[in-house]
């Protein structure tokens, strides 16, 4: 058995497994886990330094997940935007294909926590066939994003079969993989996996680091293998209260990512997903972070801060206001806050 499969078998899937290690009574969390599953790989568990820290908050169930709330189980209306099971088709030229229902670690802030890791999210061969058929007969789709769950929890041969079938569709120009395993199960990124992936270019991978403590030597090695296999790497961070909601933490994160050849892509404001309210920050927090990055840090490292609009209306980019006024002379605010005039005309 490979080391990544061993990690999955040895994962902690019940609060009692934490009680031994941290000497705290966790039984009140059983009700949370009945509703939203738990899984923490031994590797990710070892990143916890103490209860309540940035790693703990991301993976250990919290009774606030069950608080009554106004949020929606499916805030992005993914079910309505799903023409066949396993597909979400919101933008004309690209689709999400939910290729796996499982993740190495179940993130407590997951926007799909309504179903990720639950029996209802099993991926059957029949549904996968229907999803591929839909892509094949929908010619405007040129970009397929494998998501889930985590598509890299599929076995190599199953994943390869899927890539091969998508590659056989002439109008599919690029394929993207969205995966958190470089963060939660870096052992999954084997040389064999990378040797297989490189046969299906152009292939992109977006991963999901949220905190600088996740940038370990093992994660570094996983990203090195992927980048050496020619996959352009991006990162989607979720802005999480008590985890990464300060400019100092975010600066360390994005600088570290660039060293791993991972380009910060999106900074997501928390979706309005039921059971995640305790992670939500104010929008100002995200704007302040982006403003604090812009200037001191290379533009290469500054992600787009976005809110995915409720009801499936798409991602909205949010920017600190640099353009104050238009006209023959535009008024601009520099990153340090100084106002300057800039001529706005054609020569
Ligand atoms: C975010 C998202 C995409 C991909 O958007 P990009 O801006 O191209 O990365 C595609 N489909 C859905 C439903 C999405 O939420
Ligand atoms: S890895 Fe992604 S899909 Fe899986 S629980 Fe975390 S955020 Fe959700």
Say yes or no to pLDDT of 196 above 80.
yes
- How high is the pLDDT of residue 347? 62
Does the C-beta of 96 come closer than 6 Å to ligand 1? yes
- Ligand 2 center–CA 117 separation, angstroms: 9
Alpha-carbon torsion 120, 121, 125, 131, what sign?
Answer: positive
The string of pLDDT tens digits covering residues 242-264 is 999 999 999 999 999 999 999 99
Question: What are the residues facing 268 on neighbouring strands?
Answer: 238, 306
The string of pLDDT tens digits covering residues 92-138 is 999 999 999 999 999 999 999 998 988 777 899 999 999 999 999 99
Does the C-beta of 91 come closer than 6 Å to ligand 1? yes
Query: Which residues are annotated as catalytic?
Result: 90-91, 94, 103, 107, 110, 112, 271, 308, 315
**Which residue's C-alpha comes closest to atom 1 of ligand 2?**
180
Domains of the chain, CATH where assigned: 72-320 (3.20.20.70)
């Amino acid at each position: 058995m490979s080391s990544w499969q061993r990690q999955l078998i040895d994962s902690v899937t019940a609060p009692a497994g934490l009680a031994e290690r941290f000497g705290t009574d966790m039984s009140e969390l059983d009700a949370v886990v009945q509703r939203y599953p738990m899984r923490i790989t031994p590797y990710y568990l070892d990143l916890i330094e103490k209860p309540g820290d940035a790693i703990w908050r991301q993976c250990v169930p919290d009774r606030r997940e069950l608080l009554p709330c106004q949020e929606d189980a499916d805030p992005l209306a993914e079910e309505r935007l799903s023409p066949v099971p396993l597909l979400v088709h919101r933008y004309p030229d690209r689709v999400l294909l939910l290729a796996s229902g499982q993740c190495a670690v179940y993130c407590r802030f997951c926007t799909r926590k309504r179903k990720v890791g639950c029996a209802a999210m099993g991926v059957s061969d029949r549904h996968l066939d229907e999803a591929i058929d839909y892509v094949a007969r929908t010619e405007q789709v040129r970009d397929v994003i494998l998501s889930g769950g985590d598509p890299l929890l599929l076995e190599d041969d199953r994943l390869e079969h899927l890539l091969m079938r998508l590659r056989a569709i002439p109008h599919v120009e690029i394929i993207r993989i969205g995966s958190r395993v470089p963060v939660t199960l870096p052992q999954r990124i084997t040389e064999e996996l990378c040797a297989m992936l490189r046969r299906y270019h152009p292939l992109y991978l977006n991963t999901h680091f949220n905190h600088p403590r996740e940038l370990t030597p093992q994660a570094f090695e996983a990203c090195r293998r992927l980048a050496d296999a020619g996959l352009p790497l991006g990162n989607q961070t979720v802005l999480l209260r008590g985890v990464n909601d300060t400019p100092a933490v975010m600066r360390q994160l994005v600088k570290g990512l660039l060293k791993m050849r991972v380009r910060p892509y999106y900074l997501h404001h928390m979706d309005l997903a039921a059971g995640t309210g305790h992670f939500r920050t104010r929008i100002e927090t995200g704007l302040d972070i982006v403003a604090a990055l812009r200037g001191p840090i290379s533009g290469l490292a500054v992600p787009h801060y976005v809110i995915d609009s409720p009801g499936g209306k798409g991602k909205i980019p949010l920017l600190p206001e640099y353009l104050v006024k238009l006209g023959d002379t535009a008024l601009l605010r520099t990153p340090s806050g100084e106002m300057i005039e800039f001529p706005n005309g054609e020569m």
